[in-house]
Structure 1
């Protein structure tokens, strides 16, 4: 087996959350993919906890947005509740 090929990691899908794998609803990814202008993405107005950002695989950092469910769940976890996104 060629180890160089077996060690390849697929490129992250910019339309899927790198934490849970669900669609992330990123307007910027939609615009890049289709060329159709989009309104500002929800993520440009969101804040993300350091704990959530640390869970993003290195290969996906800066390439795929976290979904609103994971962002919201992370805020609740930071606030002390137990709700988590699917990728937890």
Structure 2
């Protein structure tokens, strides 16, 4: 828990994804869900704040892959595919 002190809570573009990672990992018992949601949130928050240049192209790809990962199960349920 001492690592939480190192998060710059005054910078909301860092604090929001960090908070999501911590809470989702704790409540879903899934590291994948926590990291995936925080990567997507980081990319979206940086883009919304006008700081797109701070996000590397590789992180955009990782965020897109996590978005596909999260969308896969609902799409399969709608299409009745296993």
**TM-score, length-scaled by structure 2:** 0.30
TM-score (norm 1): 0.29
Indicate the structure whose relative CO is greater, using CA pairs within 8 Å and at least 6 residues apart: 1
If each structure's helix is expressed as a fraction of its own residues, which one has the higher value?
A: 2
